[in-house]
């Protein structure tokens, strides 16, 4: 097991290196750059001196080749410096740090919600196949898969405001938005975080319910289950000890893509719900071609994908010995 984990960790280094190159190149793909948009905006009101444009390009390092810009950027990233945001005129780390914490918090809460709901519902649907609750959960799952997250957010906001006169946008009440951290602010956060947690987790919950149900149904009819049942093993113990353990593999293996999918999928939802996450910042950075800010966020999302995949592999190896033996 230790050799397996060590090998997977060693693969992180070249993977992250390649990911950093791809993340930086993706930001460079659109034509023009930040100064192109910035100067075009200024020229709507006054003529811009070419000497000023040249000085700005030197200041931001945009006059250098792309590979030089990348090497300078990645050297700063290794030292914990992501450069200056061209849009906010602040260090990128200060712009995204608190927003990144809220993003990860919402994503982990949504992931916990997905597991807590999808696991028991999927097991129940498989054990009670073709029953009325099974049909009901199937209908709910298809509805959850079909409704986009931003549409569900709009529906929740409309119901909360029209029926209860309450606003569910943001993560804090007006009095706690800029207040220092305290127990009262933490309680206020818990009162608001359930909305983005449910909105973001609905699609993933519906998907994993179907996966869990299908995988468990495949296991329930295999010979080892029939043999255990014939020997008189209690049904509840039989289901939870053997087939459920095998059917859990898809749950564990999907952590690698579920976590970054929640983070990236929260971009439009964050705009709709006015959440202080990295989503709106990434959208603004992409529109203004702020390469340092957008590149840092894309890199962090990619790192989450790689780390999530590592966690999935390790948990899967613990759950299923066949993985590590291979």
Query: For the segment 51-103, what is each residue's pLDDT rounded down to a tens digit?
Result: 777 777 777 777 788 888 888 888 888 888 888 887 888 888 888 887 888 88
User: Can you give the pLDDT at residue 62?
Assistant: 74
Asked if 24 contacts 78 with a C-beta cutoff of 8 angstroms, the reply is no
Which of 35-44, 182-191, 214-223 comes out lowest in average pLDDT?
A: 35-44
Rounded Cα distance between 36 and 43, Å, is 11
Rounded Cα distance between 309 and 15, Å, is 11
Tokens 């007006």: give the residue. Answer: 174
Residue 121: is its pLDDT beyond 90? Answer: yes
Read off the DSSP letter of residue 111: H
Tokens 């996966």: give the residue. Answer: 211
177 phi and psi angles, rounded to 5 deg: -55, -45
User: Can you give the pLDDT at residue 258?
Assistant: 65
Q: Which residue has the higher pLDDT, 325 or 34?
A: 34
Residue 264: is its pLDDT beyond 70? Answer: no
pTM of the complete model: 0.79
Read off the DSSP letter of residue 317: H
Segment 139-151 shows an average pLDDT of 87
pLDDT above 90: percentage of residues in the chain:
5
Please report which residue ranges of 29-170 form alpha helices under DSSP H.
34-42, 50-60, 66-78, 92-127, 132-146, 149-164
Report the chain's terminal Cα–Cα distance, integer Å: 11
Q: Could you give all domains of the chain from N- to C-terminal order, each with its CATH number?
A: 96-325 (1.10.3720.10)
Closest CA to 266 of 113, 152, 106, 141: 106
Residue 324: is its pLDDT beyond 70? Answer: no
Going by C-beta distance under 8 Å and a sequence separation of 6 or more, which residues neighbour residue 238?
225, 228, 229
Rounded Cα distance between 25 and 299, Å, is 11
Rounded Cα distance between 297 and 303, Å, is 10
Q: Which residue has the higher pLDDT, 80 or 46?
A: 80
Rounded Cα distance between 46 and 289, Å, is 22
User: Can you give the pLDDT at residue 136?
Assistant: 92
Instruction: Please report which confidence band the pLDDT of residue 120 belongs to, taking 50, 70 and 90 as the band edges.
Output: very high
User: Can you give the pLDDT at residue 255?
Assistant: 67
């Amino acid at each position: 097991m230790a050799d397996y984990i060590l090998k997977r960790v060693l693969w992180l280094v070249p993977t992250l290196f390649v990911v950093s190159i791809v993340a930086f190149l993706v930001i460079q793909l659109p034509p023009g750059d930040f100064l192109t948009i910035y100067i075009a905006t200024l020229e709507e009101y006054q003529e811009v001196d070419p000497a000023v444009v040249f000085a700005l390009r030197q200041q931001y390092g945009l006059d250098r080749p792309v590979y030089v810009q990348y090497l300078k950027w990645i050297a700063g990233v290794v030292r914990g410096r992501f450069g200056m945001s061209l849009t906010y005129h602040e260090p990128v780390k200060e712009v995204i740090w608190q927003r990144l914490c809220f993003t990860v918090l919402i994503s982990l809460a949504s992931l916990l919600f997905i597991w807590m709901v999808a696991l028991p519902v999927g097991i129940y649907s498989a054990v009670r196949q073709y029953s009325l609750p099974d049909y009901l959960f199937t209908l709910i799952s298809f509805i959850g898969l079909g409704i986009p997250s931003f549409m569900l957010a709009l529906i929740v906001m409309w119901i909360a405001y029209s029926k209860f006169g309450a606003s569910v946008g943001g993560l804090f009440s007006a009095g706690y938005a800029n207040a220092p951290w305290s127990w009262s602010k933490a309680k206020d956060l818990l009162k608001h975080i359930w909305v983005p947690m449910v909105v973001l987790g609905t699609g993933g919950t519906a998907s994993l319910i179907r996966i869990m149900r299908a995988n468990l149904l495949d296991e329930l009819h295999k010979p080892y289950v029939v043999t255990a049942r014939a020997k008189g093993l209690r049904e509840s113990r039989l289901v939870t000890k053997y087939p459920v353990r095998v059917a859990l593999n898809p749950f564990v293996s999907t952590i690698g893509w579920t976590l970054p999918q929640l983070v990236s999928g929260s971009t439009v939802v964050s705009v709709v719900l006015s959440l202080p996450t990295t989503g709106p910042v990434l959208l603004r950075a992409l529109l203004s071609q702020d390469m340092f800010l957008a590149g840092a966020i894309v890199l962090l999302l990619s790192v989450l994908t790689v780390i999530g995949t590592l966690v999935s592999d390790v948990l899967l190896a613990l759950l299923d010995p066949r993985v590590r033996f291979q």
